[in-house]
Copies of this chain bind each other. A is one copy, B any other.
Amino acid sequence: MRSPDQLTVAFRNAGLKVTPQRQLLFRLLHNNSAHPTAESLFVAASAEMPGISLRTVYQTLTDLTDMGELQSIDFGTGASHFDPNVAHHHHAVCDSCGAIHDVYVEEAPRLTGLDGFSVEHSHIVYRGTCAACA
């Protein structure tokens, strides 16, 4: 995801307006590697801007995702997680504390034995126990 300043420009160029709510979320998401949920962002945003609505958080997350600034990932934990890192990468999820870490591997194994399936994308999820929990 680009910086708050760059997003400000990008939003205006797209005919979207730049509100204090959106600027706050730009800041909360920029360089955020925690893979937050809408709810956790809502809590963080509410601390700085009491009264911001959860609906607005969802709306802005959808906008950013549609613009390709954010990716939404479902780890089967109930809620979707949002990731400002839109480069191709994988994830390690701690079964104990729920922490999600970015993982870079050279290449996912080639798909064999499924004749005719053309792979467009692959995502590896590692599960186990993180260093802090061990």
Number of copies of this chain in the oligomer?
2
A56 contacts partner chain B, Cβ-Cβ < 8 Å: no
Interface size in chain A (residues, C-beta < 8 A): 40
Name the distance in Å between A100's Cβ and chain B's nearest Cβ: 11
Residues of B with C-beta under 8 A to A130: 114, 116-117
Interface flags, A87-121, vs B, CB<8A=1, else 0:
00000101100000101111111111111111111
10 A-B pairs in the complex with CB atoms less than 8 angstroms apart = A92-B119, A105-B110, A111-B126, A114-B131, A116-B131, A116-B132, A117-B131, A118-B134, A119-B127, A121-B126
A interface residue numbers (CB < 8 A to B):
73-76, 80, 92, 94-95, 101, 103-132, 134
